[in-house]
Amino acid sequence: MWGKKKKPKQTAQIDSLIGQNTEIRGDVVFSGGLHVDGKIKGGVMAQQGEDSLLTLSERGTIEGEVKVPNVVINGTVIGDVHATGHVELAAQARVHGNVYYSLIEMAMGSEVNGNLVHCSEDDSVVPLEREDKVAGES
């Protein structure tokens, strides 16, 4: 309403798309925006000096290490996630590994089976201890 400023909606340009029926074996290096609906067996890295964004849909899977400035995960990652900018874990996100982040946003239902490690701007690492329980486990 009056006097309230809305946060600008981030719209990412998709420069590369990995389709639902595609499987890539090997490392992927990209710049700009990468949207993954398929499966990657290998690391995913953004080129240095770029403000890139990786979007992993609920149909997507990455088996390997992810090193990108900004990432939105709604699928499955088996490996560590390193993000110098923003990490968003949507409701269907499943991460089996550690998440190294500067800023993080987690939706209800997202799951991290590993450690959340906050990395400040001076690259000092502050581990956050956390125990995750999956529904139905005792």
Question: For residue 99, what are its two tokens?
Answer: 């998440």
The pLDDT of residue 8 is above 90? no
**Of 61-70, 87-96, 105-114, 124-133, the least confident:** 124-133
Using a pLDDT cut of 90, give the percent of the chain over it. Answer: 72
According to the model, what pLDDT value does residue 18 have? 97
Each residue's pLDDT tens digit, 23-70: 999 999 999 999 999 999 999 999 987 789 999 999 999 999 999 999
According to the model, what pLDDT value does residue 125 have? 38
According to the model, what pLDDT value does residue 34 have? 97
Tell me the backbone φ, ψ of residue 115, rounded to 5 degrees. Answer: -100, 145
Give the residue from 48, 49, 56 showing the smallest Cα distance to 14.
56
**Of 48-52, 84-88, 131-135, the least confident:** 131-135
Q: In whole angstroms, what is the distance from residue 128 CA to residue 53 CA?
A: 25
